[in-house]
Amino acid sequence: MSKKLTMIIILVVIASLGVAGIFVAPLFTKNKLGIVLYEYSDPFILNLGKQLESLATTKGKFEVTMLDSQSQQSLQDEHIDTLLSKGAKVLAVNMVDTNSSPEIIEKAKRADVPIVFFNRDVHDAIESYDKAYYVGSEPAQSGKIQGELIVEKWKTHSDWDLNGDGVVQYVLLEGEQGHPDAEARSKWAIKVMQSNDLKVKELHRAFANWNREQAKAKMREWLKSDNHRIEMVIANNDAMAIGALDAMREQGNILPTFGVDAIPEALTLVKSGELQGTVLNDSENQAEAIYTLVSNLAKGRKATEGSYIKMESRRFLIGYIGITDINVDGFSTQ
């Protein structure tokens, strides 16, 4: 019997079964991946989510649903419930409130669905479920590298010391109150500056919740009250650093400013000289690592199968890289 005739017979049989009302499962079905972000307005997080979504749909052939929690834990809880009820095979979650991670893990555990947390560290919570994982970075490292960039630049730019007193008079824009990344970045940036014999004086510090517009508003206030005293702006992320730059452009005076994340707009600003430095929070490799885990887990394989990933206690951390005008050309602004 020819291959062509065999195929015709198979198709006729399938068609007749359908007519008879007998359900025929499709030959191929897509696995469903649920991606839940804490906030779409955070450019780094949205970019990371889109990179993961692209990998999962094009490379992994997943059916992907990506949802915005709008910085509301209650809404994120609802999203998780919805995704599980609709048959998600695996979840990738960027927590709103990491203190709520045990409840999220319990939901996934009851449904026997693997879950990969990313960017916001849930720490020991994953120990309660052997199908829970974490991909991210060490926040203290980003603070240390930011501090090193500041030290390097300050020591080669005597003109930054506007009043000539040998003291770095800075303002600090922080992420969320109580957020471990914000606390670590702030602490270690300043600590590294001091350990490298820089004298520092903090003029202002405020939470701007990783948000460009909130940072712009704070910087406007500080410029009105201390325009001639501020010598440097330190921000826990690029979005806030860029918000501060927005406010400074209105005043026509750009002060040395440092961020974290190396989002495309920040890299462009480093090239132009408006932003003095940023720290690469490697979204591309994070997305690749998350994709590797969810792809394997959806197929019932070992999470790291066929990959370079070496996990410790189901955790995988990716290092940061400092970026200034010296090396920025080696990084993509796309």
Q: Which domains does the chain have, with CATH numbers?
A: 32-137+283-303 (3.40.50.2300), 140-280 (3.40.50.2300)
Give residue 233's identity as a one-letter amino acid code: V
Contact status, residue 133 vs residue 293, Cβ threshold 8 Å: yes
Q: What is the mean pLDDT of residues 281-295?
A: 96
Contact status, residue 259 vs residue 238, Cβ threshold 8 Å: yes
The model's pLDDT over 232-270, given as tens digits with 9 standing for 90+, comes to 999 999 999 999 999 999 999 999 999 999 999 999 999
The model's pLDDT over 73-110, given as tens digits with 9 standing for 90+, comes to 999 999 999 999 999 999 999 999 999 999 999 999 99
Structure tokens at 44: 């780094």
The structure's pTM equals 0.84
Q: How confident is the model at residue 14 (pLDDT cuts 50, 70, 90)?
A: very low
Q: What is the mean pLDDT of residues 171-178?
A: 95
H/E run at residue 147? helix 139-155
Q: How confident is the model at residue 334 (pLDDT cuts 50, 70, 90)?
A: low
What's the rounded Cα separation, in Å, for the pair 7 and 234? 67
Q: What is the mean pLDDT of residues 196-218?
A: 97
User: Would you say residue 18 has pLDDT above 70?
Assistant: no
Q: Over the chain, what is the mean pLDDT?
A: 91
How many CB atoms lie under 10 A from the CB of residue 169?
Answer: 19
What's the rounded Cα separation, in Å, for the pair 214 and 198? 29
Q: What is the mean pLDDT of residues 201-230?
A: 95
User: Would you say residue 221 has pLDDT above 60?
Assistant: yes
To the nearest whole percent, how much of the chain has pLDDT over 90? 88
Q: In the prediction, which pLDDT does 29 show?
A: 54
Q: What is the mean pLDDT of residues 134-160?
A: 97
Contact status, residue 19 vs residue 32, Cβ threshold 8 Å: no
Pick from 86, 134, 81: which is nearest to 108 by CA?
81
